[in-house]
Structure 1
């Protein structure tokens, strides 16, 4: 039974949004992803596990799908069924398609510095992952066949993610230089998603703090300043987290706002300022990632500090 109802006013209309707990007793869930065969996998950053949350419920004693990962961060489900994951503390990307212990899983790329957000760039036919330098981040393309790495977006600013302190304990950074600040590189600074609007000339969309920008499908490498000046699709978003587009309307992208405890809908065509736009749902402490059911009617959102996944209905913003 739905336990919570919110009324969101949009213009002269009121939308009723229903929220209930779907899964609980997770440990620092940072990311979720649907697999090609219909499973909802969720990452536990601090335990090094990936769990199958498809059926929801109490996840404390749930057998992990994969384990032994070093700071698992972002999942990427490929169309051929493969499941890849970044290890934020381990500096690598692994193939966890068959689950099990991490040591038995193939390493797709390694030697990466704090890899986080990961997608498959369909227009370039390469993986795209964000990595860190001392005081900035960058997006790197990786050829999945050869492992060759090429820069795509440089000088992505690092914004301290207040509220996420302790997610990356200092002990997890022993392999990095002491001057590498784990707080600034906490990972939830930038997220990206594949662009699925056919006529928009972008291979992917990238959120950094207050902005949503498009990454052109031709050329590069780009500087973040260049993208912000020429390809800004939305502003006024506050500190942003994970995002996903609507399966029924790819022009609508749902973006989490962790420090505002909310999820907002953005139209990628309107290049709007969203400071005064009401969120779809609020009251979700440090909501980090959002995913949708195949029909777009159910939203799943996880909290990195609450250790829960919420199921949200009635939010539809097919604007």
Structure 2
């Protein structure tokens, strides 16, 4: 119990979010495997047990509107306005893959332990494994929307079927982010109890890796995009197996990713407070400069390996899922 308390004391000052670039990652995963289908926009009509922040929950359709925050010159996925009340299936998945980050999981009372991490967003978007123990419920978030999507398709409501599926993709993509599975090395977690600069470093390292994926995708990096597009589907037995494989994959890359982020950005991780215009800790310009110097070569290699394998798992999942709901 003492170890648990020490861990939570560190986590309470780390407000964690999710991969940046959900829309771009999802777009390049789904665009060639989702049926070429125009879907009629339908109103929300569901009785849910899940609690949301109703002041930030969006239930109307926002396809065709500006939902992506990016820097000038960023290459973002297409987002055309609906035509005759219909939108393509790929667009629903792309646009709403970022929906859980719009605030619907914020400001809630979800867990007696959430005061220790400072927010309810982290409760639903992470699944920490520390000292053999597990905390939080990103996996449950994925299962919830997987099941709700099936329910919508079963009712013949294909719009909300795809929209709930987009939310499910968000949470499983979050689980592919190494820092969503552990906040740092075990020694760093305990050192952070006595050194606030370590706490800030862990928080900022997470932010940097979130933003690095967005930098690669929205810069139009050809190697990154081809890695996602060319990933071959990998089929697993169930969504439970998908969660386990994604988490195992993310944790396996954590030591390498964490080492590279500390090596490249060093003291900036301990000093900065996260108030930059473009990204949270490292600006687009700084990413570009580090890229041009070759400092990011290892980090990019690890990230493309991770994202390529993640894309393979998610393509297999989507193909199986959409095949199943076609029978409803």
TM-score of the superposed pair, with normalisation by structure 2: 0.24
Larger Rg belongs to: 2
Structure possessing the higher relative contact order (Cα contacts under 8 Å, 6 or more residues apart): 2
In terms of fraction of residues, the more helix-rich structure is: 2
